[in-house]
Chains A and B, each alone.
Chain A
């Protein structure tokens, strides 16, 4: 089972041990940055579920969108500057910047699939700035707990990460299917799952038949 977790993480992450976190002396299936990203996404998705906005159809207002975009910038700066060799970074910075990036995406991704072009959209994913503060606080507490090894179970964190990975890629495929096949009444979920299978198959080929020659 753990081999399956590691295999799934290898499709979307480089899994370098020195850039990954450990729980109970076991390396997580993705690197520190990806751990932060998917923890952030998970917390945002849970927040939408708790607030009963799972079927939201309206993206956040412009002011909230700008704030969310500002939260994306730290990960971009950290990643680009470290890849270009301009500065060195650490796992704590990677997980925090990744979490700030990850928590913003569900608030944009979830409303798109139900967004109506020819009717009024009335259910925004985020309403007030204070909601961003609440979600950010929870995300940062969760990331610090993972970084400091305070989570008792490797399986819990790994399952959260991998379920979030699968759901986010499914949701993106579902959104594309809703956009392209807007007149299809039934079967969108099945087509989305097939598209997701194609995506992961492509990632598998790239990872194990192309990039493997360079490792």
Chain B
């Protein structure tokens, strides 16, 4: 076992990517010393600023249309919100890609807000159904069930 140079969690000796912080790690010599790849060496600062080079090479930013589409999907009760959470987590774990991380964060916040709103709306739905059941009589309620 060895320590990740970025988050200092215990990781396997031969792993090339830390499972906790997602940083790339290269193991070069036989004594097991950890060496950092050149594009990641600039991460060894006190501020731990994310690299903008290695992880973003060849990766296009998300289009606004795609972001709007995913956001609209996330408004669909239950299924849409589960999709929204999973997509948000995928993007939030994209270390080094600020566009995806930023969108993922906003998407997760929006999805959680919609989750709570849907739970509260169930109360209103319940009240309306009870009201119409009482007012319109059992015949209408049977038609509603059909």
Residue ranges of A at the interface with B (Cβ–Cβ < 8 Å): 12-14, 16, 37, 58-62, 65-66, 69, 72-73, 76, 79-80, 83, 85, 105, 108-109, 112, 115, 117-124, 127, 169, 172, 175-176, 179, 203, 206, 211, 214-215
Contact = CB atoms under 8 A, between A and B. Distances in A.
A85 B101 CA distance: 41
A59 B86 contact: no
Interface residues of B, number: 48
A172 B116 contact: yes
B6 A62 contact: no
A173 to B, nearest CB: 10
Nearest to B7: A122
Contact of B20 (A83, A118, A127, A176): A127
A179 B109 contact: yes
A214 B78 CA distance: 27
A118 B127 contact: no
Given A83-B122, A83-B125, A85-B145, A120 B95 contact: yes
B19 A117 contact: no
A37 B122 CA distance: 14
B88 to A, nearest CB: 8
Contacts of A118: 49-50, 98
Interface in B102-119: 102, 105-106, 108-109, 112-113, 115-116, 119
Interface in B52-89: 77-78, 82, 85-86, 88-89
Given A117-B102, A120-B21, A120-B48, A214 B93 contact: no
Residue with the greatest number of chain B CB neighbours at <10 A, chosen from A119, A123, A172: A119
B50 A69 contact: no
A61 B19 contact: yes
B78 to A, nearest CB: 4
24 contacts: A13-B123, A37-B119, A58-B21, A58-B93, A72-B78, A80-B78, A83-B129, A112-B109, A115-B101, A119-B47, A119-B48, A120-B95, A172-B112, A172-B113, A172-B116, A179-B105, A179-B109, A203-B120, A211-B123, A211-B124, A211-B127, A214-B128, A215-B130, A215-B131
